[in-house]
Structure 1
Amino acid sequence: MSEIKEFESVDSALHQLPKDDYERVKKILYGSDTHEISVPEESKEMASKYNIELISCGFNCKEEQLRSPKVVRIGLFQHKLVPFPTTTPIQEMKYALFKFANKAIRIAARAGVNIFCFPETWNMPYAFCTREKTPWCEYAENAQFGPTTKMLQELATIHNMVIISPILERDEIHNDSIWNTAVVIDNHGDYLGKHRKNHIPRTADFSEPVYYAEGNTGHPVFETEFGKIAVCFGRHHPLDWLVFGLNGAELVFCPAAAGGVASEPLWSIESRNAAITNNYFTCAVNRVGTEIFENEFSSGDGKQPHRDSEYFYGSSFVTAPNGTRSPGLSRTKNGLLIAEMDLNLCRQVKDQWGFQLAQRLEIYAECLSKATKHDFVPHVIRKACRPSSTL
């Protein structure tokens, strides 16, 4: 696989500004200040040894009189396949990524991380651009009893950590169907449940409908010892984010394989907007790098067939309910973002802004119900035609 010279990150570019300008620009772009949190030297040394960028920050929250703080640390791990080519045998590829995941989780555990999240289909190439079934469907495995879940259950138990593992799922019970699925493992190593991707992209290199359909697990929120968490794959769809909030989520993770110049300007906006409108924390974690495949494929853009995927631009970050966001990880490096937050901030922001008081779900429910009917007529008011004058 080849390395591509890429722009490092928006954060690194901002640091080129004079200090005063940087502070003003950062305030406008990132919202309220975050604070530094303590990360053990052991974690820093391990991250440096394994060539993993390590960034950390804490979100500010007022202390309350009647509720104790609900402080939690989350870890977002972004990674690329390099140096493993996509032609690597499946067992060998999984074993290599399992070893790397083990290292990242150990770094996170030393730093006190309670909830750890991987990017979308983290244990395989993002091969859906190829539209080939072989060998990619062989990566699919049982969500509850597959080798990836078993491996992570051991680590979750050892490190007292909730782990979110997005995989390609094989459902043997339902006719060997395949799904894009996030598995949630609790901090005791128990399989807590799964969520299947609700919205399947149908554009450019994202030929996912060739492999799996829209999810059928609804919008589950998983109650853990560290908070109520959910997984939202549908970052382009505001209503997907909304329902997780209605179901009581405090932390919503967005594992992605986001790449290409068209989607990158949206990346820093969508999950941040969801945090603001739904008053919960959002945690966006992405893949990194370009993946090269053995056979050429076309992207439906009139250009010549090629073997390289779109560039996955990393840039994982966290947003608080008040719109404050963390620094982002690099666009080019393996990275671990550790963020600490007090989940009491969710209700504090709800009390401050009152979006729930003003949201008018009943009128949207009525409109959405009408819009699903085949005889739906948009509510459009047009200027009436004047009657023609008579002589």
Structure 2
Amino acid sequence: MRTRAKIGVVLSAVVVSVTAAAVVLGATPADAATGGSGPYPADYETSAGLPDHTIYRPQALPAQRLPIFVWGNGGCAANGTGQVNFLREISSHGFLAIASGAPNGSGSTTSPMLTRSIDWAVAENSRPGSKYYGRLDTTKIAVGGWSCGGLEAYAVSHDARVTTTTIFSSGLLNDADDYQLRRLTKPIAYFIGGPSDIAYPNAVDDWGKLPAGLPAFMGNLNVGHGGTYDQPNGGEFGRVAVLYLTWRLKGDTTAGANFVGAACGLCRSQWQVQQKNLTLDDGTPVTPPVTPSSSPSGGANPACSAVYAVQDQWPGGFVANVTVTAGSTALTGWQVALGLPSGATITSLWNAVPGDAATVTNQSYNGRLTAGQSTTFGFQGTGNGSGATVTCAAR
């Protein structure tokens, strides 16, 4: 259930105001300084073959082939330098990054512009005489975007050439668009600005509807919807994006250890982390880092179990997630009884339906679980979320 019907209008208004300022203040290509903290100082350029895009590349191309990252801007604004610090940082670590929109451009972007970025990069890699001839790794392509740009990334994530998707402070606006989640087959990562991020409820809703077995990561950093893109080298979002792309597009498992396992690097930081089906590509499954607050119910062979975890707590409120797992037999529906601490109340609920008293039941799309399969629901509440109990039963 989508919890904020007007999110699309608000996202566009918030981010367009930021990118509009960038149109006035941003550097022209001739004035743009190389930068980034990586080993390959990066700059941006344009191409006659892709005039409505901005191409970020290491100033001196390294010997190793460059994986490709295509990007949709916040507000779907056609300003390819709107997130210049962030994208230049990524490129400086040995990636070709392509943003929709010309440098300091105006107007709006569309999801087909991301597809054109991929088409152009693949063609340039095969074109004799191109500076990119044989220099790009067209088997490793990531698509990503911030806010409205994240919706564009979703729209093209089913492209067979895309090997991973990254969603920054974004989430589908309508349940009618959930088919985009069902067709996902490649790993996905969410980087969200915490409960104060206007996209947070929609991102959490998407997380709960991902296909079973899909490798997925969600990190929440409590910075709100604006992220850290304008900070030097893209700030914390830039650092984490580089780590994720280095893992997924370059196979660096040291970088991957920041995302995988109960003791992952981001698990021990200010990020709030959730994981699904993640491995370091060695075939070893990893258990998500959750803090159980209840034992499986129903005797020695329960029909289902529930595990409760507080994702975020602040003075006067909290966000919690509950993972429901089927027992040794399949379920056609489930019900969870919630024992909230004294004074705590639920103000919003996603991926579940409120029932009688302190109970919730499955939505239509997440009630059927095969043996051992899990799903999640979450809620925001007032008061202190610590110490709640949860009990699951089949229905």
Question: What TM-score comes out, normalization by structure 2 length?
Answer: 0.34
Higher RCO (C-alpha 8 Å, min separation 6)? 1
* Higher share in helix: 1
* Higher share in strand: 2
